A and B are shown apart, each in its own frame.
Chain A
Amino acid sequence: MSHTITHGEIARLKRTHPQLFARPLAQRWREWALWLCFAAILGFGLWWIEASPLRIWNGLGKLGTLVVLMIPPVDGGAFLDYCRAMAETLAMAFLGTVIAAVLAVPLGFLGAKNMVPNWLFHFGLRRVFDTFRGIDGLVWALIFVSAVGLGPFAGVLAIAVGDVMVFSKLFAEAIENVDRKQIEGVRAAGGSGAQTMRLGVFPQVFPVMMSHVLYFFESNVRSASILGIVGAGGIGLALSDRIRINNWDEAAFIILMILVTVAVIDNVSRRIRMRIITTDTGHK
């Protein structure tokens, strides 16, 4: 059987069974319309923001000058101050995450379908959880700086308020995904309500919650590092100051500090996360 398909045969097959070689017309039409729509919005957007090759070219030239000014990064003799600001950033992220997580535990139980089996309540609470996600952390920081004054306290509140509803939603989902069998097992062995929670629900929910909390801590370290731009404490204030007075080498130093800190925190937190997941549930 050493038969190769010839071009003639392909042409004949294309003629006799055209539907095998092309997608249905309606599908192709829809795809074209979708791409056209995408291109139109993109074009409109580019026009709106006044993008032009000339502008990019000029900007890139300036950007190049900035990069040259940034090298080499120097600490400007304020390394200890930066370290203190960095510690403040970490503290803000940590406290904000912890406060949000503690507040979210009861909210999560309230929002879980299997704990409060009321459709309307569940739906309403979930919408409230979703609503708060719409506001960026920096906007919260701006509001809390206005409300309680400059400093890390406003930053902690901003992080906590920004995260508490997201945590609540994630916790509620974790609680909803609990396996009934373990709860029934504890109950069948004569466990009380509290024991059911402690031995049936808690071991299943806790690793998931911890993993979410650590993940959010990582992300909050990143956001906390910029909250200082609006005066909410941390390293961001130093950074925006250096940029404002055109000390680009010092700004580059601070950016590098942020990068290193974020990398270290990510690494440590990922390890703890892996450990918690593997030791407590025994898989994954």
Chain B
Amino acid sequence: MTMRAEGAGDLPATSPAERLSAFEDRYRQARSAKRVWTALYGALFLAALTGSVIVSDFNLADLMVGLPKAWNYISGTFPTLTLFNFWGDVSDWYWGINYWLRLLVETILMGFVGTALGGIVALLLCFSASRNLVENSVVYFVSRRLLEFFRTVPELVFALIFVYAFGLGPFAGVLAIAVHTAGALGKLFAEVNENVDPRPIEGVKAAGGTWAMIMRLAVVPQALPNYASYALLRFEINVRGASALGIVGAGGIGQDLYVAIRQFEYTDISAIMLLLIVTTSIIDMVCETIRHRLIGHDLSTGQ
């Protein structure tokens, strides 16, 4: 700071050599400051790594034993497919296809209904959680904290509690997805709302519109493509999440996967996993195409 002032203030008084040495001093200072920071982060990282290794009992010997075991297990789930009797082998492998397809449909529906219900709640809460749309800071604070709570409690914890309250089955799972989705989407929707062009809002206000009219006529038309895009993204995530909820008894294909893994029905595991992978890939691709059409390539990655 002071060096630059000197250099700029009385430029003719300093010789090139002096200016060069001043520059090099500054460069050295910046370098050493950066080195200190790097060393600090490095030390922090090493400390965290050592701590983690100690706490989780992670060691190389276990890894050397565990990795081949894990690989054996995974390769053990692959079916034996022969070229002679290819279709016969495939139908053996997928012996439960009708049942699994039914569960798969249930999983997708759970993701869909959960996203839709959660999206509706998010839509109701997002306006009061946008700083530019509410004047009452208490309402803003309460909506924000509520969304945060919905978002931070893991979906599976909600599922555990809802299974207890609403009984086993997909109903509890859908509610768990919906609550978590309301929190996640509500925050994103509110961020979209905070970035809308204020001019239409002024326009509706000037024409005598009420608060609800401002939201409906000035905010929603601008934000709708982004809402839809985020909802689609969430749908992809929720189908994936729904496939795991069955593990705690909240419906979907997870329950059969759980049974297969627990009872060591090896080829069933790979069959269900493959079904899941194909389904989620297709949904991802379809949703991505729609998203790009909705808001264009450049916006789809940004927040």
Contact = CB atoms under 8 A, between A and B. Distances in A.
A116 interface: no
A134 B262 CA distance: 21
Contact of B51 (A91, A137, A144): A91
Interface of A: 38, 41-42, 44-46, 48-51, 55-56, 59-60, 62-63, 66, 84, 87-88, 90-92, 94-95, 98, 130-131, 133-139, 142-144, 146-148, 151-153, 155-157, 222-223, 225-226, 229-230, 233, 239-240, 243, 255, 258-259, 262-263, 272, 279
A49 B113 contact: yes
Contact of A223 (B55, B57, B154, B174): B154
Interface size class, chain B: 35 or more
Given A42-B116, A48-B109, A66-B164, A94 B49 contact: yes
B264 to A, nearest CB: 8
Interface of A: prevailing SS: helix
Contacts of B113: 42, 45-46, 49
B281 interface: yes
B218 interface: no
A233 B55 CA distance: 11
25 contacts: A42-B116, A45-B113, A45-B174, A66-B164, A87-B51, A90-B55, A91-B51, A94-B48, A95-B49, A95-B58, A133-B280, A133-B284, A134-B278, A135-B240, A138-B247, A142-B261, A147-B72, A152-B55, A222-B154, A229-B156, A229-B160, A258-B154, A259-B149, A259-B152, A262-B152
Given A95-B52, A147-B73, A41 B112 contact: yes
A222 B184 CA distance: 14
A230 B156 CA distance: 11
Interface stretch (B123-131, B165-173, B187-195): B165-173
B214 interface: no
Contacts of A138: 156, 244, 247
B281 A130 contact: yes
Nearest to A259: B152
Contacts of B157: 226, 239, 255, 258
Interface of B: 34, 37, 41, 48-49, 51-58, 62, 66, 69-70, 72-74, 106, 109-110, 112-113, 116, 149, 152-154, 156-157, 160-162, 164-167, 169-171, 173-174, 240-241, 243-244, 247-248, 251, 254, 257-258, 261-262, 264, 269, 273, 276-281, 284
Nearest to B161: A66
Given A50-B169, A157-B66, A223-B154, A146 B281 contact: no
A259 B171 CA distance: 25
Contacts of B281: 130-131, 134
Contacts of B247: 138-139, 142, 229-230
A91 B55 contact: yes
Nearest to A225: B154
Nearest to A63: B165
A167 B14 CA distance: 52
Contacts of A48: 106, 109, 170
A45 B56 CA distance: 42
Contacts of B51: 87, 91
B254 A143 contact: no
A134 to B, nearest CB: 4
Contacts of B278: 134
A112 B160 CA distance: 41
A75 to B, nearest CB: 17
Given A45-B109, A95-B58, A146-B261, A153 B66 contact: yes
A79 to B, nearest CB: 17
A66 B165 contact: yes
Contacts of B241: 136
Contacts of A62: 164-166
